[in-house]
Amino acid sequence: MRPAHLRFDILRDWALSMFARKAKASPFLVHENPTPAGPATHAIVIGVGAYPHLNGGAKRKTQDHENMGQLTSPPVSARRFASWLIESFQHPGKPLATVSLLLSQKGSQTFVNPRTRKKMQVEVADGANTQQAIVDWIARGDTHRDNLLIFFFCGHGLEASTASALLLADYGANPLASLEGALDFRQFHLGMKRCKASEQCYFIDACRIDSETLQEAKTAGRLPIQPSGHGNWPDRKAPVFFSTTKGHKAYGFAGSPSIYTEALLQCLQDLAAQKPDGPWCVNTYRLQEAVDHVVTRKALEINRVVPPTSDNTAKIDLHWLAAPPKALVYIRTKPPEALRDIVSVACNQQGVTRARAEPGKPVGRELVLQLPTGSYDFSAQFKNKREAKRSEHVYPIWCTLEFTP
């Protein structure tokens, strides 16, 4: 008879091989690479815009609607985030292995993989599908201690005290228990301590308004994995990034990615990158700082965006860049009113003019450009024919130039 530990190893290997076979047939996967022998990255992306039981929905309206209605931004945001992961995400030690996608929207539920160009049908982001997709995602996380897990949700959200509900497509379908169509995020996040993956990132792009429904129900929805003292990994890093502050709404524009998702992708791609020692890399500390900066500036334009927040802060090296990143360049004048007299700005790098055009969109008392990292000679041309010059090293997140005509 084999020793007990060998029998356990055989059973474990069998279970992992069975899981690998099952994962290939998973209806939620929109991208899959051959699973590496070492650690890997596994993502699940959820975008809920069509809510049949809320205002404007096609079915009986739930009494627990709390004035919520239909959304168009979340499915676009989820598609954009999933596409970015598939097309651009880079981690030399934990390559992207799988991306699961669930959507709820009016119209076609298809997704085109930006790498394979394969068109596939996407499962509806209702309670049952989301719970099963999360269970599959957890199982992938359990395949290696050093795996990285990424969770992204965009849709309606509710909060009460410490409870947090992410509303899925069938929220309100059960007239006696509307929260069967929701995910209890707080308890789910606590339960993920039982998953072996030591690095986990959660991005929640949803409102965090106070809810009477949650307050009275004393529950916040489905729980794919419950908290437990068993299998608790003390060195787990699991930061949570919220698109807004507790008690406030999140914002998006109809048919476009949300303000937060746009900022998140802009920062992952460029603005949150650092190069302390080695290649350009985005870590979670820098990412929160950069997203906060971009979203806060967006508030100047629409005058109602609330800055994003985070919980369980921890540093995770998340994404490596293939090329030097771009940075924001804010152009000001002294006095401020002279800004309107700028005709053009030239950006010369090593004797080559990188840009000569009208400056970018004004925000408040600034003009905004975005340029690749590097040292530049800037010159601003004014209506009075005068020229002001500055030399500056451009580096993410931003730099500020002030010209005097």
User: Tens digit of pLDDT for each residue in 344-390?
Assistant: 888 887 666 665 545 555 656 788 888 899 999 999 989 888 899 98
- Residues 155 and 240 both lie in one domain: yes
Question: Are 246 and 310 in the same domain?
Answer: yes
CATH number of the domain encompassing residue 366? 2.60.40.10
Examine the fold and report which residue of 289, 320, 351 is the final residue of a domain before the chain moves on: 320
Q: Which of 259, 288, 320 is the last residue of a domain?
A: 320
Q: Percent of the chain having pLDDT more than 70? A: 87
Structure tokens that stand for 37 in this block = 């022998």
Predicted confidence (pLDDT) per residue in 185-239, tens digit: 999 999 999 999 999 999 999 988 889 899 888 789 999 999 886 655 668 899 9
**What is the average per-residue pLDDT within 286-311?**
85
Residues of the domain holding 368: 326-403
Same domain (yes/no): 288, 232: yes
Q: Which helix (H) or strand (E) holds 8?
A: helix 4-24
Q: In the numeric block, which tokens belong to residue 160? A: 């009460």
- Which amino acid, residue 58? A
Query: Alpha helices of 25-160 — where are they, by DSSP H?
Result: 73-88, 127-141
List the structure tokens of 223: 């729980």
**Does residue 149 sit in the same domain as residue 246?**
yes
Contact 203, 189 (CB under 8 A): no
Which residues partner with 393 through β-bridges? 375
Return the H-helix or E-strand segment holding 4.
helix 4-24
Q: What is the CATH number of the domain that holds 156?
A: 3.40.50.1460
Computed on alpha carbons and rounded to an integer, the radius of gyration of the chain in Å comes to: 24
Examine the pLDDT at 13 and tell me if it is beyond 50: no
Domain match, 41 and 179 both: yes
CB 329 within 8 A of CB 374: no
Instruction: Report the range out of 124-128, 361-365, 372-376, 399-403 with the highest average pLDDT.
Output: 124-128
**31, 112, 113, 282 from 25: Cα distances, Å:** 12, 18, 17, 33
pLDDT at 7: 39
pTM of the model: 0.89
Confidence category of residue 26, pLDDT binned at 50, 70, 90: confident
Which of the residue ranges 228-232, 251-255, 336-340 would you say has the lowest mean pLDDT? 228-232
pLDDT of 14 reads: 39
Q: Strand pairing partners for 237?
A: 199
Listed range (19-23, 126-130, 213-217, 293-297) with the worst mean pLDDT: 19-23
Residue 13 sits in the same domain as residue 133: yes
The answer on 269 and 162 residing in a single domain is: yes
Domain closes at, from 320, 336, 361: 320
Residue 238 and residue 342 in one domain:
no
- 139 within 8 A of 203, measured Cβ to Cβ: no
pLDDT exceeds 60 at position 15: no
pLDDT exceeds 70 at position 330? yes
Any residues with CB less than 8 A from the CB of 287 and at least 6 apart, and which? 241, 264, 267, 268, 272, 318
- Tell whether 280 and 176 lie within a shared domain: yes
Running DSSP on this structure, what letter comes out for residue 336?
G
The sheet with strand 362-363 has its strands ordered as 362-363, 366-372, 326-333, 398-403
What is the model's pLDDT at position 31?
A: 96
Structure tokens at 316: 């995770």
Q: Are residues 372 and 281 in the same domain?
A: no
Distance CA 186, CA 404 (A): 52
For residue 278, CA distances in Å to 281, 316, 324 come to 8, 16, 12
Q: Is the domain of 66 the same as that of 185?
A: yes
Phi-psi region of 255 (alpha: psi -120 to 50; beta: other; left: phi over 0): left
Q: Of 23, 35, 46, nearest to 94 (Cα)?
A: 35
Q: How many domains in the chain?
A: 2
Cα separation of the two ends of the chain: 88
Site of tokens 């908290």: 227
Q: Answer yes or no: do 181 and 286 share one domain.
A: yes
